[in-house]
């Protein structure tokens, strides 16, 4: 993939990733964060959780990442939607973020989105 | 009064960096053919923090990489041609060798998935802004990127977006 074709992973909380979300589309580039709940080496599939919300992660492209149940990870990749409306993130980048302050992360995300919206509206005005 | 956005490394988020406007440089003293502006104010140096999502190394020449901070992908070029570039011919050769070694060590740390803090000059490549890297460090603190978001927002609101009064000249 050429670098110019790489899109940034839109920051999204798992709770905001439901079928009604505009981000819930095949091919959308996302960045998600959560605690590793399940991991199957055979299928290269992981599941992360954040509160009551879960997301499957396809980790077959992440050869150098050591995955440990209970640790917190951040993944960037593209969303795939199964016929049953189940979302799977095909990760191209992943990293361990044990020690991240998730409350601060979620609050900062709100501020960041607000700042981006204001910036865009300033440019339009 | 010095222009705060021209003479320092401006902490910018990716989307903000990518929306900088460009004009041919009007300053005859400037070595850069292009000048960059954020909301009408000139900017020459930036600092950004994000995940390395792409890397292309041409040994002894350059490392090209992309920093994704969740709002945009910032293209970066890190020159590693110290030993061949005419730019360094007038410098002390032992200094240049040390600079080359430091740059190569920094470049080796820039791997896919790490969070990097990049500082450098804004340049133009094929019409788009990029960072010509002066220095780059890998951030180990998982909260470093969050802190950069908050600092960038705070600085934009309290400094970069503010029109400072021009101080009277002391005669």
A50-59 pLDDT, tens digit each: 999 999 999 9
Q: Kindly report, residue by residue over A17-74, the tens digit of the pLDDT.
A: 989 999 999 999 999 999 999 999 999 999 999 999 999 999 999 988 999 999 999 9
Helix (H, G, I), strand (E, B) or coil at A14: helix
Q: Which of A76, A97, A112 sits opposite B68 (nearest CB)?
A: A76
DSSP tag of B115: E
The hierarchical CATH code for the domain A10-100 is: 2.40.50.140
- Residue B64 forms contact with A (CB below 8 Å): yes
Distance CA A73, CA A67 (A): 8
User: B75 to chain A: which residues are within 8 Å by CB?
Assistant: 3
Q: Kindly report, residue by residue over B51-66, the tens digit of the pLDDT.
A: 999 999 998 899 999 9
Q: Do A93 and B51 touch (CB under 8 A)?
A: yes
- For helices A102-124 and B144-155, the axis angle rounded to 10 degrees is 30
Q: Kindly report, residue by residue over B150-171, the tens digit of the pLDDT.
A: 999 999 998 888 776 655 655 5
Q: Do A93 and B112 touch (CB under 8 A)?
A: yes
Q: What is the ipTM of this complex?
A: 0.92
Instruction: Name the pTM for this structure.
Output: 0.89
The structural domains of chain A, with segments of one domain joined by +, span 10-100
Contact present, B66 and B74 (Cβ < 8 Å): yes
């Amino acid at each position: 993939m050429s670098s110019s074709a790489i899109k940034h992973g839109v920051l999204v909380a798992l709770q905001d990733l439901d079928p009604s979300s505009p981000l819930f589309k095949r091919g959308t580039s996302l960045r998600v964060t959560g605690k590793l709940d399940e991991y199957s080496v055979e299928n290269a599939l992981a599941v992360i959780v954040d509160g009551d919300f879960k997301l499957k992660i396809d980790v077959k492209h992440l050869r150098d990442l050591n995955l440990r149940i209970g640790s917190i990870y951040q993944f960037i990749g593209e969303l795939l939607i199964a016929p049953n409306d189940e979302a799977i993130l095909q990760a191209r980048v992943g990293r361990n973020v044990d020690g991240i302050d998730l409350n601060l992360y979620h609050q900062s995300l709100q501020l960041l989105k607000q700042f981006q919206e204001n910036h865009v509206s300033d440019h339009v005005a | 009064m010095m222009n705060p956005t021209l003479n320092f490394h401006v902490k910018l988020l990716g989307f903000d960096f990518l929306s900088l406007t460009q004009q041919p440089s009007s300053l005859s003293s400037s070595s850069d053919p292009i000048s960059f502006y954020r909301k009408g104010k000139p900017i020459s140096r930036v600092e950004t923090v994000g995940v390395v999502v792409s890397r292309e190394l041409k040994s002894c020449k350059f490392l090209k990489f992309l920093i994704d901070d969740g709002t945009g992908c910032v293209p970066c070029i890190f020159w590693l041609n110290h030993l061949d570039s005419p730019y360094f011919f007038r410098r002390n050769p032992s200094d240049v060798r040390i600079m080359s070694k430091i740059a190569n060590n920094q470049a080796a740390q820039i791997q896919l998935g790490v969070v990097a803090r990049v500082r450098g000059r804004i340049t133009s490549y094929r019409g788009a802004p990029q960072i010509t890297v002066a220095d780059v460090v890998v951030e180990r603190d998982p909260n470093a990127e969050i802190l950069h978001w908050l600092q960038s927002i705070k600085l934009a609101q309290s400094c970069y977006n503010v029109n400072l009064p021009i101080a009277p000249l002391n005669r």
